[in-house]
Structure 1
Amino acid sequence: MQQEKRLTGKIAADRIRQMAVPRADPALLAAYRALGDASGVLSDVMDRLGIPGVVGASTLAPTLPGKVMVGTALTVRNVMQRGHEYEAARAVVNKMAEFEAHNLAQPDDVLVIQGVPGISNMGGISAQLGKRHGEVGAIVMGGVRDVAHSRSVGFPVWASEITPRTGKWRVETVEINGDVEIDGVRVCCGDIVFADDTGVCFIPIARAQEVLVMAQKTVKDEEIKCAAIDAGTHIADLPKSD
């Protein structure tokens, strides 16, 4: 049987921009998780600080609802493979290389893929491998498939499309750990990714502490307001936020 051709060795290495990703302190990631399903709060804070980086769940929908995911971005950029897809399929030419990104992963990483629309950029085996390497989930601008498989291993994925059409002979990975663009948002490897049922926030690592402090205060203010509402306080008398 003909062996499947994959990106390996020097070819794959040439496309890895950074071998060592700048990673946030685990305590910082834990503090973000403690915010709960706070993408709305983070979006407001990022607006006030002038930081772009929010994509709604109508664009990036979770395949495993009810999850809050926080981690460090490990980035992959895909493009359409040259040549005819059926000829590549017959020759079993596979130029996808997100597996190389999995090999660089550490616990609490999030795979962030700038993918190709209408085609799967990540399947169930890839999700299972990511889970084994300690990744907490994935963000894919483009198609994914094998959703039941990724759900079965508890690997949440936020994706813009779901399709059975494989990317094996249609997609080529051209860069790992470079900058990617997700719905107009620039994401760098090492940035913090926060995702819940409402959407996804990409937080530049250099601004992460600043965003966190404001978000923590906002969450506390909202808890006070909700308690006041439950106590029967009139809307005009609710505590004012800064």
Structure 2
Amino acid sequence: MDIRLTGKIDKSRIRHMSVPRASEEVLAGYRALEDASGVISDVMDRLGIPGVVGASVLKPTIGGKSIVGTALTVRNVLQHGHEYEAAKKVANRMAEFEAHNLAQPGDVLVIQGVAGVSNMGGISAQTGKRHGEVGAIIMGGIRDVAHSRAVDYPVWASEITPRTGKWRIETMEINGDVEIAGVRVSCGDLVYADDTGVCFVPIARAAEVLALAEKIAAAEEIKCQAIDAGVHIADLPKTE
């Protein structure tokens, strides 16, 4: 992919031009799980891995969607100075487009953003879709929700607002560590998101979490089949 800087961020602020990635086999295994944030959350609890945020905090813009992918991270802060003066100068220092330029198909944009203003709009979502991203997770505001829905680019965000971040936000770092609702996320971590919430799985533990999640999901499927078959509650197979 042709990687070009837009000029909105010093190249030194891009911590990693490339990111570690889970194997396609592991990613496919997570994709095969259905409605699995609860199961993955249980597994992470058992293994002592923090990394789960509920959908009451990070709300999905497209219901019924689930995504699996590799985290590309962006950290935003408020610009210094008066916002209306910056607006007159069109002083746009947002630079998530640089992350889009680094994306590979199947990636997820993860933004530690600013509250009360938009950290991503419709054009950005459409650009991410073009680069093969499967969606975005944003701690902070977003806007142009109808646009991102129209291009089938799901976003999990803590706020929705029409107030632009263009002259209110500055991107400080790309592909460094970010914090999302108290969870530390590194570029390359595996992201699973659905209607119930978002799970950030450290890449070093992704295969381990998947193996136990598949085991539990299979056991729960057997239990559900037994319920449908009319098995008495006392006789239902046990799940771990």
Specify the TM-score bucket, using the shorter chain as the normaliser: over 0.9
Report the equivalent of 1:238. Answer: 236
Q: Is the 8 A contact 1:7 1:95 kept in 2?
A: no
The question of 1:137 aligning with 2:135 is answered yes
Render the CA deviation track for 1:144-200: whole Å, top value 9, x for unaligned: 000000000000000000000000000000000000000000000000000000000
Report the equivalent of 1:83. Answer: 81
1:42-121 aligned within 5 A? 42-121=40-119
Aligned equivalents of 1:234, 1:184: Cα separation in 2: 42
The one of 217, 223, 226 equivalent to 2:224 is 226
Aligned equivalents of 2:139, 2:30: Cα separation in 1: 23
Q: Is the 8 A contact 1:7 1:94 kept in 2?
A: no
Render the CA deviation track for 1:82-102: whole Å, top value 9, x for unaligned: 000000000010000000110
Render the CA deviation track for 1:120-140: whole Å, top value 9, x for unaligned: 000000000000001000000
Q: Is the 8 A contact 1:114 1:141 kept in 2?
A: yes
The one of 158, 161, 166 equivalent to 1:160 is 158
Aligned equivalents of 2:71, 2:21: Cα separation in 1: 9
Equivalent residue of 1:14, what SS? helix
Q: Is the 8 A contact 1:12 1:97 kept in 2?
A: no
1:184-199 aligned within 5 A? 184-199=182-197
1:14-29 aligned within 5 A? 14-29=12-27
Q: Is the 8 A contact 1:225 1:239 kept in 2?
A: yes
Q: Give the % identical residues.
A: 76
TM-score normalised by structure 1 residue count: 0.96
Report runs of 4+ in structure 1 exceeding 6 Å deviation: none
Per the TM alignment, residue 241 of structure 1 is displaced from its structure 2 partner at its CA by 2.1
Per the TM alignment, residue 7 of structure 1 is displaced from its structure 2 partner at its CA by 6.3
Render the CA deviation track for 1:49-72: whole Å, top value 9, x for unaligned: 000000000000000110110000
TM-score normalised by structure 2 residue count: 0.96
Aligned equivalents of 1:7, 1:130: Cα separation in 2: 15
Q: Is the 8 A contact 1:61 1:159 kept in 2?
A: yes
The one of 31, 34, 43 equivalent to 1:33 is 31
Per the TM alignment, residue 236 of structure 1 is displaced from its structure 2 partner at its CA by 1.6
Letter in 1 for 2:206: A
